[in-house]
Amino acid sequence: MKKSENAESMTPRELRASMGLAGIFGLRMLGMFLILPVFAIYAKSLPGGDNHMLIGLALGMYGLTQAIFQLPFGMASDRFGRKPVIYFGLVLFALGSFIAYAAHDLYWIIAGRSVQGAGAISAAITALLADLTREEHRTKAMAMIGTTIGMTFAVSMAVSPLIYEAIGVSGMFALTGILSVLAIFVVAKMIPDPGKILFHSDAEVSTSKLRGVLKNPQLLRLDFGIFSLHAAQMAMFVVIPSALIESGHFPESQHWKIYLPVMIFAFVLMVPLIIYGEKKAKLKPVFVGAIGLLLLSQLLFSTLLSSFWGTVFTLLLFFTAFNILEASLPSLVSKIAPVSAKGTAMGVYNTSQSFGLFAGGAVGGVLASFGGHSAVFVFGALMSALWLFLAATMKAPPAVRTKMYPVGPMSDEEAKRLSRELSALQGVYEAVVMGSEGSAYLKTEMSGFDEAGVSRLLRP
C-alpha cells in the first residue's frame, strides 16, 4: 500500500522543486506583465514619452531578446548545468530591472527591457524540473508552471495600478530586480540539485527534430496563433491605458477597478468552456470560437475606443478569448506534436510567443504614431482573421493525452521492440521508447486505454 501511495503522489522533493520552479517562472512573467496596464501612461512623463514607437519598443523589446536567447540557454543548460544557467539568467534579469529603474528616458528603459529579456531561463527551468520529477508526475509539475503563469497574469492586471500609485513604474522595476536577486537564493537553497542531467524529449528542444516540427503545417498554425495572440495583447496595451483615461476620465490609480472584475468574469467564462472542450473532445470548436471572439474584440476596439463602457465591455470579450486560447493552445500542441518531439514543438511555440510580444509592441507603436489608435486594432483584426481561417481549416486534434513511463536504459533495438509492443495495445495512439533516456512516451485515447497491458510490458 505504501509503495502504491508513493507511486500515485509526488514526493516532498518533487513537490518542493515543482513549487519553487513554478514561482521562479512566475517571477519572469511578473517582470513582463506588471507594467502593461500602466506603462503607456508613465511613459508620458519621460523625455520622448509622446512617441508611441518608443513606448511600443519599450513594451516589446523584452520579447525579442527572450525569443533570441531562450533556446540557446536551454541547450547551454545541458552542457554547463541547469542551475548555473538559471543563476546567470536571473542576474541578467535583475541587471535589466535595475537599468530600467534608473532610466530617465525611454531609450534606457528599452535597454533595460532588452537585458531583462536576455535572461531567458524558461527552457532551463523546464529542463531542471524534468530532471527533478519522475515521468508519471511530470505533466502535473508542468501544469503547476502553467497555472502559475495564468495566475501571475491575472494578478498583475489587477494589482498593477495599485502598485503604480504606491511606488511608480520605476519602483516596479526595482521590485522585480530585488525579487530576482532573492530568487537566486531560492534556487540555491530550496531547489534540489539534480543527481544527473538527462535529455528529456517531452521538455527540451532536440535540434535533430527541429526540421520536422518546422515543416508540420498543423503545428505552424498553432505557432502563428500564439504569435498573433500575444502581438494583439501587446499592441493593445500601447493605447488602452490612455484610452480609459481619455474616454472615462478614469485616473490610472483606479484602473484596478476595471481589470479586477474583468479578469474574474473572464476566468469564470473560460473554465466551463475549456472543460467542455477537453472532456467532450470538442476542443477545436471551442478554440475556433475563441478566435472569432478575439476578432470581434479587435473590431469593437477599433470602433468603440471613444466609449468608456464600450471599451470596458470589449476588454471582457478580449480577456475571455485570451484566457481560452492561452489555456487551449499548449494542449493542442501536445496532442498534435509527435510524442518524441513534444519538447521541441513547445520550444518553437514559446519562441513564437516571444516574437509575438515584440512584434505587437513594435508594430502597435508604429501604427499608433502614424495611423492613430484605431489602426492598432485594425492590425489586430487582420491577424485574427487570418488566424481564424487557418484554425477553421486545420484538422481536428485527436482526443488523446500524453503519458510517460520509466523503462530504464536499453539498447536501440530493445527500445524499437518495446515501442512496437506498446503501439499494438488497445487505446495507444502512438508510442515511442527512448532507450538513452530510459523513458516511454505514449499518446493514449481518453477512454478505453489498456493501462494494465502497459504495466505487464513494463514489469521488470
Instruction: Find the CATH number of the domain harbouring 251.
Output: 1.20.1250.20
C-alpha 333/C-alpha 441 separation (Å) is: 15
Main-chain phi, psi angles of 7, to 5 degrees = -70, -30
pLDDT at 387: 96
- Which string of DSSP letters, residue by residue, matches 222-278? HHHHHHHHHHHHHHHHHHHHHHHHHHH---GGGTHHHHHHHHHHHHHHHHHHHHHHH
Whether 423 and 380 share a structural domain: no
Task: Round to whole Å and give the CA distance between 184 and 453.
Answer: 45
Residue 447: per-residue pLDDT? 73
Asked if 391 and 405 sit in the same domain, the reply is no
The model carries a pTM of 0.89
> Do residue 217 and residue 157 come from a single domain?
no
- Among residues 175, 203, 231, the one where a domain terminates is 203
What is the per-residue pLDDT for 8?
Answer: 65
Q: Are residues 228 and 90 in the same domain?
A: no
Q: Is the pLDDT higher at 389 or at 201?
A: 389
Q: Which of 174, 203, 232 is the last residue of a domain?
A: 203
One domain, residues 414 and 381: no
Same domain? For 229 and 323 the reply is yes
Q: Residue 1: what pLDDT? A: 31
Helix (H, G, I), strand (E, B) or coil at 443: strand
Q: Are residues 231 and 365 in the same domain?
A: yes
Name the domain count of the chain.
Answer: 3
Tell whether 209 and 352 lie within a shared domain. Answer: yes
Q: What is the mean pLDDT of residues 87-99?
A: 95
Please tell me whether residues 251 and 193 are part of one structural domain: no
CATH of the domain at 433: 3.30.70.100
| CB-count burial class (<10 Å; 0-12, 13-18, 19+) for 57 | buried
Residue 16 belongs to what domain range?
1-203
- Mean pLDDT score, 215-227: 95
| Element spanning 401, H or E | strand 400-406
pLDDT of residue 460: 62
Q: Does 232 lie in the same domain as 256?
A: yes
Confidence band for 427, pLDDT divided at 50, 70 and 90? confident
Same structural domain, 311 and 331: yes
Please check the confidence at residue 105 and state whether its pLDDT lies above 70. Answer: yes
pLDDT at res. 362: 94
Do 255 and 154 lie in one domain? The reply is no
Q: What is the largest CA-CA distance in the chain?
A: 70
Tell which of 376, 397, 418 closes a domain. 397
